[in-house]
Structure 1
Amino acid sequence: MTGPPVPEIRRIEIDTADREVAHGFIRDHYGEHTAAPPRRDEPFRYRSVVVDVGAARVSWLTYAGDATSAWTFEDLALVGVLADGGHAIDFGRGHTVQRPGLPFLLPPLDELRLQWQGPRLTAYTVPLGLLEHVGADVPGSERGLLRFTAPHPTTPSAARHLLAALRYLHHLAGEPELLGSPLVTAQASRLLATAILQAFPNRALVREADDDGLATTAAVRRATAYIEVNADRDLTIGDIARAAGVGVRSLQRAFQRHHGTSPSGYLRRVRLDRAHQDLRLADPGTGATVAGIAARWGFSNPGRFAGAYLHAYGQPPSHTLHR
């Protein structure tokens, strides 16, 4: 049994003292912008490391110099966390100054004016299409025009939840074995998109009442068959509900009745079983590892995977691999 194909890990680094080269790199990787000439001749350095995590992207950057620039993000949202230096955003309603350690948003579809004073920050970008897709899979909602209305999280709790998601992507970006799993990186991208939608105030979606009917046994069978066939793909609850031909809430209630778990829980069971089969068939002499097989099936935390595996099969996954 094999999981999804392993993608090439994309990592880009730049270290330049040329402003034109730096701003060309920024345009290529973040969005169209126009930088004003510096007000004085001063030393300049731009350093950045960019790592793709599924559809999302993690960047560490240092801009050693001052800059004022006009930006338009047409197809992505950027969340930044300032380590030090100065960073201010003007949405046309006056500047908001960013404080170190607190996340801020550069939203899609808005014209922005940024002022930098030697910032060092970590940036996380998510495509607009992924934000819209994730938002549309929230029970009771449909795709609609997504517009963010403020650059800061709505509450301290929302900021903490977002920072936890950012730390997780930060961790993945330094783990090549996990970056090689399409399921792990796709789940991480959706986690970040969900955290952004929950953290920052927005006029996200057109809300409609979900169906209140009960999904039939046939719909549950369609859903389980879809999961079994597509367990190696990045599936959302919305994907499964559409395949079954019912609403998300109806499907969730039906799965609880028939399987004692949610559709997502059932998907985790199937993937755990696929990992079990791979462990049984793997040859440690070829370099197969528990962590690698777990990551192939979307389990990014080795400790949690080992606990779930022990509960399901009565032995640690390492015993299955080396028996």
Structure 2
Amino acid sequence: MDDLRRVRSSTTDPEEADALLREAQGRFAFSRDPGADFSFRVEQAGDDGLTVGVYRIGGEWVSDGEFDQFSVSGVFAGDYRWEMDGERDSSYGVPFLARPGHELFGHGESLSIVNVYIAPERLREVARVVYADDSIVPVFGSPRPVDLRRGRHMLQLVQVAAEFVNSGTIDDPMVRAGLSHALAVGVLECFPLTGERRARPATARSELSIHRRATRFVDDYLSLPISVGDMAAAAGASQYDLDAAFRSRTGASAVSYLRAARLAAAHADRAREPALGDDALAARWGFASTDRFRRAYDSAYGAVGDAAVESL
């Protein structure tokens, strides 16, 4: 994974806010004096493939500019109205997609907004795995979600990404790899692709081969920040075929297999090092938080956790 970069700052000066916005993957500016009640705060973390920015912007203001990357925005408080390519809408409760080379105009007030920036190269890599097509270049026909259900799912992913930034979990390369893949797939599924393609279903024989190659890859590289997309690439399959192969042979998805493998590795570590706590195990094996690790571990192996370790 690329090196992590962080931006954490706040200001009441619109020009300083413009500079922070430019540092945060975009060429944006507040295009008129937002007034005395203006405030700007940013908490951002990411690398060359994925960056997540959490913004709180006080007062009423207008901005315009464009991004170098694909940017999915989720508004969680306040009011925000956007316009791109003649389309306009209010975005509270519905994510929208800003595309490179497409100017975005925004009018906000007392805003809490999260932007997920995905590099075009990263989105293209994931699309080629998902659709098993090495020539595909994702082009989107609209900033709006395909439907409300997919929009809500994308908004949940954006919210999780913000939680990872606020908690510091995104600093872990293994977590960042999984988050990057999940968000890229979410974008491909949520927003209308031009000329969208689907891979042909795999045969029973090819499913067996896909399953074997993917599990061998996980066995060899589990300690590294691998994702389901990496499993599919190693198996020479689309993500749809990868999931089909795992479901036909195990009854569960590929991501469930990867998660179970990491839990098994954590369980083995605990047996070797009984004093190793949940925090260390969660960080070592790429779980988003200690609480999530503990719930998954207890479900798989019983309520062992730190309390049991302390009783030894």
With the shorter chain as reference, the TM-score category is: 0.7 to 0.9
Listed one character per residue, the Cα deviations across residues 149-175 of structure 1 (whole Å, up to 9, x for unaligned) are 223323222232122222222322232
User: C-alpha separation between the residues in 1 aligned to 2:41 and 2:231?
Assistant: 39
User: C-alpha separation between the residues in 2 aligned to 1:93 and 1:255?
Assistant: 44
Of structures 1 and 2, the one scoring higher in RCO (CA 8 A, sep 6+) is 1
Q: Which runs of 5+ in 2 are unaligned?
A: none
User: C-alpha separation between the residues in 1 aligned to 2:122 and 2:305?
Assistant: 34
User: C-alpha separation between the residues in 2 aligned to 1:80 and 1:310?
Assistant: 33
User: C-alpha separation between the residues in 1 aligned to 2:38 and 2:126?
Assistant: 37
Distance 1:142 1:8, change over 3 A: closer
Correspondence list, 1:120-131, <5 A: 120-127=111-118, 128-131=120-123
Q: Normalising to structure 2: TM-score of the pair?
A: 0.80
Question: In structure 2, what is the equivalent of residue 292 of structure 1?
Answer: 280
Residues paired across the two proteins, number: 307
User: C-alpha separation between the residues in 2 aligned to 1:269 and 1:225?
Assistant: 15
Listed one character per residue, the Cα deviations across residues 256-299 of structure 1 (whole Å, up to 9, x for unaligned) are 56555444333222211211122234464xxx531331243122
User: C-alpha separation between the residues in 1 aligned to 2:242 and 2:142?
Assistant: 34
Correspondence list, 1:1-323, <5 A: 10-17=6-13, 19-33=14-28, 36-38=31-33, 42-43=35-36, 45-52=38-45, 55-69=50-64, 71-81=65-75, 83-85=77-79, 87-93=80-86, 96-99=88-91, 101-127=92-118, 128-139=120-131, 142=134, 144-176=136-168, 178-203=169-194, 205-209=196-200, 211-212=202-203, 214-215=205-206, 220-246=211-237, 248=239, 251-256=242-247, 261-282=252-273, 284=275, 288-300=276-288, 302=290, 305-314=293-302, 316-318=304-306, 321-322=309-310, 323=312
Q: Which amino acid aligns with 1:73?
A: F
Tell me, yes or no, if the aligned pair for 1:53 and 1:169 is still in contact at 8 Å.
no
User: C-alpha separation between the residues in 2 aligned to 1:42 and 1:311?
Assistant: 53
User: C-alpha separation between the residues in 2 aligned to 1:220 and 1:293?
Assistant: 27
Q: Which moved more, 1:208-217 or 1:151-160?
A: 208-217
User: C-alpha separation between the residues in 1 aligned to 2:241 and 2:141?
Assistant: 32
Q: Which moved more, 1:156-165 or 1:48-57?
A: 48-57
Listed one character per residue, the Cα deviations across residues 44-98 of structure 1 (whole Å, up to 9, x for unaligned) are 63311223156231312215343342x222223131316224x33332325x242
Tell me, yes or no, if the aligned pair for 2:130 and 2:238 is still in contact at 8 Å.
no
User: C-alpha separation between the residues in 1 aligned to 2:52 and 2:228?
Assistant: 24
Q: Which runs of 5+ in 1 are unaligned?
A: none
Q: Which amino acid aligns with 1:289?
A: G
User: C-alpha separation between the residues in 2 aligned to 1:36 and 1:263?
Assistant: 47
Overall identity of the aligned pairs, in %: 22
Distance 1:252 1:201, change over 3 A: closer
